[in-house]
Every structure is written in structure tokens, then in C-alpha cells.
Structure 1
């Protein structure tokens, strides 16, 4: 039986807890403590756009694992449907799906995470992706329309950026990739502003300074 918390999730707050059945057995949010988790929904099994996304996530699974990140899929379908779809992907595309897929027939997880959007479909989850950090905090949410598949490369980039920010107490500019300069937090007092120009950063103005890592 599923057990999820109530209320829509918000960034930098605890992710809604869950205890669910998946294609890999029972899973709960607590199982992922100490690791990053990417929880992603798709409208339905046996749909073409979703198939390409699952293939993309499967091919990147080892890369995510090397970044201490697990993957967890979801749709409003049964485990039996998930298993049949996984077998179809293996038979037709030669790709094995290595991550679990949640059975969410009752839409409890989808509702708790705001995956059901009025007007999109009454019984389908939109393409939502949630990044949950090792402390169980929701760090990012990304939504795509039904008609367009997600960029797995962007999710790898975003996870890398967030991990870099956490490790170095910095921000990253638009389109940042490893090797690019990062943004130093701006000073918060007049005294700190006066010191900023002499701190050795590439400073364009008091509020905008970058450095290499």
C-alpha cells in the first residue's frame, strides 16, 4: 500500500515521502538517503516520446550512478504494464531499463508531487522531473509538455552544477559546464563591497565576480 505525504512540493523543502511498489520491489524515499535521486514521470507506458526518454535515462544510468545519483521512474500504470513495456524496449531497441518504475495506479505519488496538471490530461502525469538531494530536500523541478521529450544531457549538467555549488559555495552562470568559471557570492555589507576589488576575483562590478575552480 502506498503512503505519501500531502501537499505540493516546493524547492528547498523536504520532498514528499513515499512508500511504493516498483518493478524492483518496494521503495521509499528513505531508501535513497545519502544519495541524490532523480524522480521522473511520464504520461503512459507504450508511448513513443516516453520510450525515447527511458532509453536516454537508461543509457545515462551509469553516469548518474557515478555521481551518487539514482533514477526512479513513474507513470499511472501497473507494474505489469511497466514490465511489458520494459521488455518491448529491450526487444525492439536493445536497451535494458536498469532503474525501478513506480506503480502509481491510484495517482498518490503523482498527486503529491504535482505531476497531474488540469487540462493536460485527466489521468496522465506530465513530464515532470524532480531532483532530490542526499538529505531528502527537493532541489529542482523541471516540467516538459506532453509533446516534447526531455534533454538527459541537461539533467546531467544541472546535477553537476548543483553538486559543484554545494561543494564550493558558489553559483554557476547560464550554460555552465565543468571547466568554466563560477560565480562568487556577492558581498552583503558596505565593508565587504570595499574589499571585493582586492580579493583576486574577476570582478566586473561589486555584485558580479567570477573565479576558476
Structure 2
């Protein structure tokens, strides 16, 4: 995203959506937010992605996360396409999804938020939105951004895993290692001294011996 760094306030905006006109910051309230874009409605990869997002919406809700999608299609297209998404999930083909979809037919938001994929164009030769993911904290600051090309579908289980890590590390002075999942042990950051670690982590700290002799690979149980 041009000009926006991790930790900076995510831009507020107003937009037409499948649930009416919204202001992003007001829509998020004091919750976390996952804003994700897709190239076009009525396309195969996007349908599988939105279908998976619908299936996982209850898990995001449990984590106090507001989901909201975006593409350059119109609200009527979003609503009609929602029937296909629900049908893909073997559900009743209704226009209702558990999260709104933003309509950005003039590409104003796509340009502002750096979402356009220059290599993927519609039938008119205009670039379409890439598969962006922005995670926004309750403080309205951007916590994470991921940018996929239009040709590569996302893994929403990974996005949920990242939310778990962000929420855990926002409240505890720990880090999560490779392939970490909720409930796995976590890592003690190098900025925490041995003395402080023994007080902060009552369950104990395990330090792995390494050829360098440096005691930086330290694990502890996930804080409650």
C-alpha cells in the first residue's frame, strides 16, 4: 500500500456496500477488521474464496473481527453473485452474506489503497483489483497487509491464524514461531531478559542449546 506502513492509521472512507453506505471506521467500531479485495464477481477463483470466507465467518466473529470485501463491481452484481456463492457452499441461494461487499466501480478505493493488479485486466482492458488482505486493529492501525496476484487464491485458514497471532502478541510480550497455531508454545523475544522472563512466564522457559552458545531460542507455554 503506497505511503501506508504497519502501525499507521488505516484510511477512513465512505462507500456503497451490499448493506448500504458505510464509513469504514464506524463500521469497525472497537473491533478488529479484515478488509479483503477480489478481482471480479462471477469468476471462478473469487467464488471459491468468498465461499470459504462465508464458511469461516463464524470463527472470525468469535475473535471480534469485522470482515468486509471489495471489488470493482456494482452492488447489484455483488448481491446477485452472492446467490452463486451460497450455492457453491451448498446453501440456499440468497443474496445475504455474513459480511458486506464494497462496490468500487470507479476504482477510487482500489487506487487509494493500492489494490489494482496491473497484469490482470477486464474485457475493457482496465486493471482489476488484486487479492489484497488488510488487517486493522481496534485502534484503526494497520497490523498486517498481504498482496496476492489475481491468479492465486488465498488461504483463509492462514488469515485466521494470523489474526490469532496478532491478537495474542498485542496483549502479551511474546512472539509466535513458524507454523504456530492457537494453543502451541510461543517464543520469548530477545528483548526480555532471563530475569524478567522467569517472572513474566510462571510456567517456565525452555532454552534450546545452539552451536553458537547464544541463548536466544527460548520457548514458553502460550499465555492464557
| In the alignment, structure 1 residue 211 sits paired with structure 2 residue 220 | yes
Who is 2:12 aligned against? 17
Change (3 A) 1:198 1:153: closer
Change (3 A) 1:102 1:198: closer
Q: Pick the aligned partner of 2:190 from 174, 181, 186.
A: 186
| In the alignment, structure 1 residue 145 sits paired with structure 2 residue 175 | no
Q: What is the CA-CA distance between 1:93 and the residue it aligns to?
A: 4.2
Partner of 1:129, secondary structure, is strand
Q: What is the CA-CA distance between 1:183 and the residue it aligns to?
A: 1.1
Give unmatched runs, 5+ long, in structure 2.
209-213
Who is 2:211 aligned against? none
Q: Pick the aligned partner of 2:53 from 54, 57, 79.
A: 57
Asked whether the equivalents of residues 14 and 23 of structure 2 are also in contact (C-alpha less than 8 Å), the reply is yes
Who is 1:3 aligned against? none
Q: What is the CA-CA distance between 1:89 and the residue it aligns to?
A: 2.6
Asked whether the equivalents of residues 23 and 101 of structure 1 are also in contact (C-alpha less than 8 Å), the reply is yes
Q: What is the CA-CA distance between 1:198 and the residue it aligns to?
A: 6.8
Partner of 1:124, secondary structure, is strand
Asked whether the equivalents of residues 187 and 206 of structure 1 are also in contact (C-alpha less than 8 Å), the reply is no
Give unmatched runs, 5+ long, in structure 1.
1-5
Any idea what the Cα deviations from partners look like across 1:60-103, whole Å, max 9, x if unmatched? 11110110001101000110111111123334543452210001
CA RMSD of aligned residues (A): 2.1
Q: Which one is further off, 143-152 or 50-59?
A: 143-152
Number of residues of Structure 1 aligned to a counterpart in Structure 2 = 204
Change (3 A) 1:123 1:203: same
Q: Which one is further off, 100-109 or 195-204?
A: 195-204
Q: What is the CA-CA distance between 1:8 and the residue it aligns to?
A: 4.0
Q: What is the CA-CA distance between 1:33 and the residue it aligns to?
A: 2.5
Change (3 A) 1:50 1:197: closer
Q: What is the CA-CA distance between 1:20 and the residue it aligns to?
A: 0.7
Partner of 1:117, secondary structure, is strand
Asked whether the equivalents of residues 9 and 114 of structure 1 are also in contact (C-alpha less than 8 Å), the reply is no
Q: Within 5 Å, which residues of 2 pair with 1:1-213?
A: 8-31=3-26, 32-91=28-87, 93-95=89-91, 97-121=97-121, 122-187=126-191, 192=193, 195=195, 200-204=204-208, 205-213=214-222
